[in-house]
């Protein structure tokens, strides 16, 4: 008799735990869906909402299950273009807590934007209907450090440094500023935004019609937060 009661108690305990776990999973899924649906027309809000999760070390890792993989195998509808540095510590999908098919990412050292990058941006805007472009720089960018160091950079790294040298936004930073590295990082981000906004054609037309937004943002390696520096 005692054994039966103990078995019944264990069964009830197991069922209670199972219900709690399933309830928690369901709550989490509804929370994710609510957050996304509430901000369906504001991709920037979705990104910043995701970054807050990442910065708090509580990422939700959305859009990574089998259903999502099957869904995007047929078509893609990213919510934003992210032009970011190639730095291994700056992964847009992780920083913004997004999943497969959510972001159209273009990465170069120093988030440098040339004709190939502009073509990729235009493709995302024209063919994928993206309504937000984020130029994402970051604290202590190695490319900007190489520019500030001066001297002759080896190989094709020289092309990156030369590109930064030509940016008027960086040229306008004070030479004696103690925070010149970060000022140049921000100036480089702003240069990227200006370059995208001032291009003739597809992107410019969308901006004029207010169908496309271009912003600049800086990722902090210390607190894991993304800060808008130009909007």
Q: What is the DSSP string of 191-216?
A: HHHHHHHT--SHHHHHHHTT--EEEE
Q: Parallel, antiparallel, or unpaired for β 213-219 and 103-108?
A: unpaired
Q: Which fold has domain 40-230?
A: Beta-carbonic Anhydrase; Chain A (3.40.1050)
Cα separation, 87 vs 95, in Å, equals: 13
Q: How far apart are the first and last CA of the chain?
A: 72
Read off the pLDDT of residues 191-204 as tens digits, 9 standing for 90 and up.
999 999 999 999 99
Read off the pLDDT of residues 1-54 as tens digits, 9 standing for 90 and up.
455 666 676 776 676 666 655 554 554 454 455 444 545 579 999 999 999 999
Whole-model pTM above 0.85? no
Provide the residue ranges of all domains of the chain, joining segments of one domain with +: 1-38, 40-230
Cα separation, 62 vs 172, in Å, equals: 41
The three-class DSSP label of residue 7 is: helix
């Amino acid at each position: 008799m005692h054994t039966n009661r103990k078995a019944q108690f264990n069964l009830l305990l197991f069922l209670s735990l199972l219900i709690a776990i399933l309830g928690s999973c369901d709550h989490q899924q509804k929370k994710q869906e609510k957050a996304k649906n509430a901000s369906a027309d504001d991709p920037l809000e979705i990104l910043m909402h995701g970054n807050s999760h990442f910065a708090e070390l509580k990422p939700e890792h959305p859009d990574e299950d089998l259903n999502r993989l099957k869904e995007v195998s047929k078509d893609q509808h990213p919510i934003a273009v992210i032009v970011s540095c190639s730095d291994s510590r700056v992964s847009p999908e992780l920083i913004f807590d997004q999943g497969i098919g959510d972001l159209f990412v273009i990465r170069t050292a120093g988030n440098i934007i040339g004709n190939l990058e502009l073509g990729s941006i235009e493709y995302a805007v024209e063919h994928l209907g993206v309504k937000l472009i984020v130029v994402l720089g970051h604290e202590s960018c190695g490319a900007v450090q190489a520019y500030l160091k001066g001297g002759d950079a080896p190989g094709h790294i020289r092309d990156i440094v030369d590109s930064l040298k030509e940016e008027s936004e960086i040229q306008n930073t004070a030479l004696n500023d103690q925070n010149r590295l970060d000022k140049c990082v921000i100036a480089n981000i702003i240069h990227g935004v200006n370059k995208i906004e001032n291009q003739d054609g597809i992107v410019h037309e969308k901006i004029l019609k207010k169908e496309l937004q271009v912003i600049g943002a800086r990722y902090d390696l210390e607190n894991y937060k993304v800060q808008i520096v130009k909007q």
